[in-house]
Amino acid sequence: MLTKLFVKSQLALQSFKNDERGVTAIEYAIIGVCMSAIVLAVFNGTLQEALQGAMDTISTNITAANTAPAE
C-alpha cells in the first residue's frame, strides 16, 4: 500500500514539473499535503511499530553475523 502511494506521489510530482498552470499546481500540492497528513495520522502507530520491528530484526541479524564463528 505504501509502495503504491509512493509511486503515485512520484508520478504526481513529475506532472507538477511540466505543469505551467501555477494555480492548479498549488491546489494539487495542497491536496497532496492533506492526503499525506491523513495517511500519517491513520498509520502513525502501525508504521512506527513496523519500522521499529524491522530495525530490531536487522540489528539482531547483524549482531548474530558478527558473533558467528568464521568457517
User: What mean pLDDT is reported for the chain?
Assistant: 80
The reported pTM is 0.39
pLDDT at 10: 80
Pairwise CA distance, residues 29 & 23, whole Å: 10
Q: Are 65 and 45 in contact (CB under 8 A)?
A: no
Q: Is the pLDDT of residue 19 over 60?
A: no
How far, in Å, are 8, 14, 30 from residue 11 at the CA level?
A: 5, 5, 16
